[in-house]
Structure formats: C-alpha cells, structure tokens
Amino acid sequence: MVSCAILKWRVDSPAPSVDAVLSDKSAQMTPKELEESLKEDIEKAYDPREQAVDVLYALQRQHGHLSDEAMREASRLLGMTPLELDELATFYDFLYREPVGKYVIHVCDSVVCWMHGHQSVMDYIAERLGVGLGGTTPDGMFTLLPTCCLGYCDRAPAMLINGRVYGELTGEKIDRILQELREEEPPLALDR
C-alpha cells in the first residue's frame, strides 16, 4: 500500500485563466507603446538596472532577437551602456544576440532527460526540421537549441518553446506540437 499522497502536477487542460502576459503583450505592442510601458516599469523600479533583463526580454520579443540596434535601444531606455547590457545579454541562456526563429525549441539535455532519451528527441526534431543543433529553419519558424534542466524531470524528456514546456515527448507528440505551432498562435504560456 502506498501510504502517502501521490502528487503529480500536470496542466493538460487549460489552467486558470491568466490575464496579463507580458510576453505576448510586448510582441504585439507598437514600438511606441512598448517604449512607454517599459519607461513606466523602469520608473517604478527601485533602480533602473533592476529592469535590465526585463527590457532586454521585451525588446527581444519585439525584434525577434537582440540585434545591435535593439541593444542600443535598451541602452537608451535604461541609461546603461550597450556594453553593460551586452555583458548580461551574452551571459544568459534565453537572451539571443543572434537571429533566431519565431519559435526557439530548447531541448533539455540534463541528466534525467538524458536518461529518458533526450538525444533521440533532439535527433528527431533535427530531422523533422532539417536543421542541426543551433540551426534555424529556412522559413524562419524554428530554431533548435539545447538547454539545461528545465525542472520538469517528472515528465522527462522535456523541451521548452517560447516560455511553454512540453513533457513526456514522443515522436508523435513532437509532430503534433510542431504542426500546432506552424498553424496557429498557441494560447498563453501554459505547460503541456
């Protein structure tokens, strides 16, 4: 007899509605709206530097990646030099200084997913998309990258695409996901 609660967290069905999603908002805003909203956030922060990563995120969503121009824009908004921001942008995993596809597929390659065959997931996606690790599909839809443990080890192997995690991947499931992403804007960032 199992004498404890067996808990397993899944959000297969839509989780409680989430009203404000910065991610999608900033991509939809006009540059002017975005600038105003970022300025407001910077104003609210204890120190502008606190918002550095947030601003970089927002501009990345707006521009697709952090181009030199986007970096200069961030520098202007935050009053930090482009170099100071580049020190951060080049440090973090989820800030892209090079052009990426509309969807960035981060396949977890840490030890639990590794045990559950992350390599075959990676190979499968690479084959399906016809790109290697780090590559972007010619239509600009997908970029394939590795990432470290996503914290979904209970549902390994897992991958993360634009803020949403997909677990217990199989070839079939991957096909479905890629198909979905190609066809429609997915609902707000929820784990699947």
Go through the chain and tell me how many residues it has.
192
Q: Which CB sits closer to other proteins, 58 or 174?
A: 58
For the CB of residue 111, give the shortest distance to other proteins in the complex, in Å.
Answer: 5
Q: Per the structure block, which two tokens stand in for 116?
A: 């559950």
Residue whose CB is less far from other proteins, 71 or 174: 71
Give whichever of 13 and 30 is closer to other proteins, judged by the CB atom: 13
Q: How far is the CB of 145 from other proteins (least distance, A)?
A: 11
Min separation Cβ 84 and other proteins, Å: 6
Q: Are 74 and 55 in contact (CB under 8 A)?
A: yes
Residue for token pair 């929820």: 190
Judge contact between 42 and 77, C-beta under 8 A: yes
Contact of 80 with 52, CB cutoff 8 Å: yes
Min separation Cβ 42 and other proteins, Å? 11
**Shorter beta-carbon distance to other proteins: residue 24 or 124:** 24
